[in-house]
Amino acid sequence: MVVIEVALIVIVGILLLHQVVARIVRKLVHFPAPAFIGRGLDSDLRRRLQPPDKIIQRSGIENGMRVLEVGCGSGAYTTFVARAVGEEGKVYALDIQPEMLQQLEHKLAKPENEDIKNIELVNSSAYDLPFDDGSLDLVYMVTVLQEIPDRSKALQQVRRVLKPGGVLAVTEWLVDPDYPWKSTTIRLGREAGFDIDEALGSLWQYTVRFAKP
Ligand SMILES: C[S@@+](CC[C@H](N)C(=O)[O-])C[C@H]1O[C@@H](n2cnc3c(N)ncnc32)[C@H](O)[C@@H]1O
Smallest CA-to-CA distance from 161 within 125, 138, 141, 133 is with 133
pTM: 0.91
Please answer whether residues 70 and 142 qualify as being in contact, where contact means their C-beta atoms are separated by less than 8 angstroms.
no
Which residues is 122 bridged to in the sheet?
94
pLDDT single digits (tens) 76-110? 999 999 999 999 999 999 999 999 999 999 999 99
pLDDT digit string, tens, across residues 13-57: 877 877 777 777 777 777 888 899 999 999 999 999 999 999 999
- Ordered by start, the domain boundaries in the chain are 1-30, 31-211
Ligand 1 midpoint to CA 144 (Å): 5
Residues 6+ apart with CB under 8 A from 127: 148, 150, 153, 154, 157
Mutational pocket test of ligand 1: of 47, 96, 99, the residue with most ligand atoms within 8 Å of the beta carbon: 96
Ligand 1 atom nearest to CA at 176? 1
CB 103 within 8 A of CB 42: yes
User: In CATH, what is the architecture of 31-211?
Assistant: 3-Layer(aba) Sandwich (3.40)
Best substitution site from 144, 153, 173, 174 to test ligand 1's pocket, by max atoms within 8 Å of Cβ? 144
Q: Tell whether ligand 1 has an atom less than 6 A from the beta carbon of residue 177.
A: no
